[in-house]
Chain A
Amino acid sequence: MSLDDLETELRPIFLAALAGDAAAYKVFLDAISARLRGYLRRLLARTGRSEPSEVEDVLQETLLALHLSRHTYEPSSPVTAWAHAIARYKLVDHLRRTGRHAGNLPLDDEVYQLAAPESGAADARLDLERAMQALPERTRRLVEQVKLQGASIAEAAGVEGMTETAAKVAIHRGLQAMAKFLSRRGRLP
């Protein structure tokens, strides 16, 4: 699927997601993560790294950044350009943090245009797990229930004795804390 086709397909889905459609949001995230996995894998390969787990790490960090930056999307602009710009930024940040030169990342459009979607997820390293360990106890239990046991927010909130909205807010804060943890990791204090 060309980038233009992907844009045509994803833009209305993402606009529906922004309006509050969680199912549309999931469809968007599934499609964009496959695309970004291919994009990041190609860029990482150019810097001489080909560990699938590293691709998955940067992808997860990118997805967290996308999620927490949804409000920065300009509705009149291409959503794929927005997502790729964030992925590229997070990749450069990752390379800088892990001590490699990011200066010679190709700016050319070739990778951007041609990267194919890749749906086969590799196992990430343990970064996100470690980020989760840093969460407050209650938030972590919420996250575990929704993530591992596939509980709905309403069920998980019920177990913790919270309202559904409060549980959503807690998970949102948890995701924020995890993103912060990831972007600080390996950086000098």
Chain B
Amino acid sequence: MKTDELISLMATSHQPVDTGRLRRATWLAAALALALTMAVVIGTIGVRPDLAGALTTMPVLAKIAFGAGVAITALVLFQQSLRPGLQPRRLLPLAAIPIILIAAFALVTLAQVPAEQWSSLTFGRYWRNCLVNVPLYALLPLLVLLLLARRGAPVDGRLTAASAGLASGGLAAIAYALHCPDDTIPFLATWYTLAVALVAGVSTLALPRFLRW
């Protein structure tokens, strides 16, 4: 087939194109994935018994804000990474903002208590559960974002994979906050951050091969 023939074939079958669809689909998919992940958390390990009272307390709000902050910045990156020619790598430092904020908050908290309490404030009771559960629950949003990414045109597969991992980790952190009984900022800053980083790392290694198009 000649190139000119290909061009007329494409032009004659051309129809109006909606360039906003990918953006809307990203936010919609993230919201759906969050709702699904929350449902899975509720159906498996269940919510913390005191959730109704705890939901509006500062530590739980901080967990949700942290997860949302990571997820939103990562989703902006993710969405842009599906559009060739934008160079969203420049925005990558934005993803560090929620992590820097929570780390600063944790340091301030630790500075206000005697050093003997640092360990218990940081490790809490269930840090292992956090480190295992958040990445496991992140698999669901990660799958949703992978399916979405295949509808875009990712020319930088590693960036798409990394931002999808970050976003999934953030969404899973919000969902896990419904269960997580450890209510200290140093705990949040340590284990939530590590869990999110773990998801992002695994995603960056594993996802690019599924993103070729």
Instruction: Give the B-binding residues of A (Cβ under 8 A).
Output: 17-20, 22-23, 25-26, 29-30, 33, 56, 59-60, 63-65, 67, 69-75, 77-78, 81-86, 88-89, 93, 121, 123-124, 128-129, 132, 143, 146-148, 150, 152-153, 167-168, 171-172, 175, 183
The contact string, 1 if C-beta is below 8 Å from chain A, for chain B 4-39, is: 111111111111111101100000000000000000
B155 near A56 (CB under 8 angstroms)? Answer: no
Q: From A153, which residue of chain B is reached at the shortest CB distance?
A: B12
Q: List 26 A-B contacts (CB under 8 A).
A: A17-B14, A18-B17, A18-B19, A20-B14, A25-B10, A33-B7, A56-B3, A59-B3, A63-B10, A64-B6, A67-B10, A72-B22, A72-B84, A72-B152, A82-B85, A84-B85, A86-B85, A147-B1, A147-B6, A147-B8, A150-B8, A153-B12, A175-B9, A175-B13, A183-B212, A183-B213
A22 near B152 (CB under 8 angstroms)? Answer: no
Question: Which B residues touch A75, using CB under 8 A?
Answer: 19
- Give the bracket for the number of chain B residues in contact with chain A: 20 to 34
Beyond A78-B85, A152-B12, A171-B12, 10 additional contacts (C-beta under 8 Å) are: A29-B7, A56-B3, A71-B18, A72-B83, A73-B19, A77-B85, A81-B86, A124-B2, A146-B8, A146-B12
The answer to whether B153 has its CB under 8 Å from any CB of chain A is yes
The answer to whether B82 has its CB under 8 Å from any CB of chain A is yes
Q: How far is the CA of A124 from the CA of B3 in the complex (A)?
A: 8
Give 8 nearest A-B pairs by CB, closest first.
Answer: A85-B84, A81-B85, A20-B16, A26-B11, A82-B85, A171-B13, A69-B153, A85-B85
Within 8 A of A (CB), among B65-89: 80, 82-86
Given the interface pairs A18-B16, A175-B13, the reply to whether A69 lies near B7 with Cβ below 8 Å is no
A-B interface contact total, Cβ < 8 Å: 128
Question: Which A residues touch B83, using CB under 8 A?
Answer: 72-74, 77, 82
Q: Which of B14, B83, B212 has the most CB of A within 10 A?
A: B14
- Cβ of B78 to closest chain A Cβ, rounded Å: 13
Q: How far is the CA of A152 from the CA of B152 in the complex (A)?
A: 30
A172 near B3 (CB under 8 angstroms)? Answer: no
Q: How far is the CA of A106 from the CA of B64 in the complex (A)?
A: 44
Secondary structure at the B interface, as helix, strand, loop or mixed, is: loop
A171 near B2 (CB under 8 angstroms)? Answer: no
Within 8 A of A (CB), among B135-155: 152-153, 155
Question: Which A residues touch B5, using CB under 8 A?
Answer: 147-148
Question: Which A residues touch B22, using CB under 8 A?
Answer: 71-72
A123 near B2 (CB under 8 angstroms)? Answer: yes
- Cβ of B193 to closest chain A Cβ, rounded Å: 31
Given the interface pairs A72-B83, A74-B19, A85-B84, the reply to whether A22 lies near B14 with Cβ below 8 Å is yes
Q: From A78, which residue of chain B is reached at the shortest CB distance?
A: B85
Q: From B23, which residue of chain A is reached at the shortest CB distance?
A: A74
A124 near B10 (CB under 8 angstroms)? Answer: no
- Cβ of B75 to closest chain A Cβ, rounded Å: 15
A22 near B3 (CB under 8 angstroms)? Answer: no
Question: Which A residues touch B3, using CB under 8 A?
Answer: 33, 56, 59-60, 63, 121, 124
A121 near B4 (CB under 8 angstroms)? Answer: yes
Q: How far is the CA of A20 from the CA of B15 in the complex (A)?
A: 5
Q: How far is the CA of A48 from the CA of B132 in the complex (A)?
A: 49
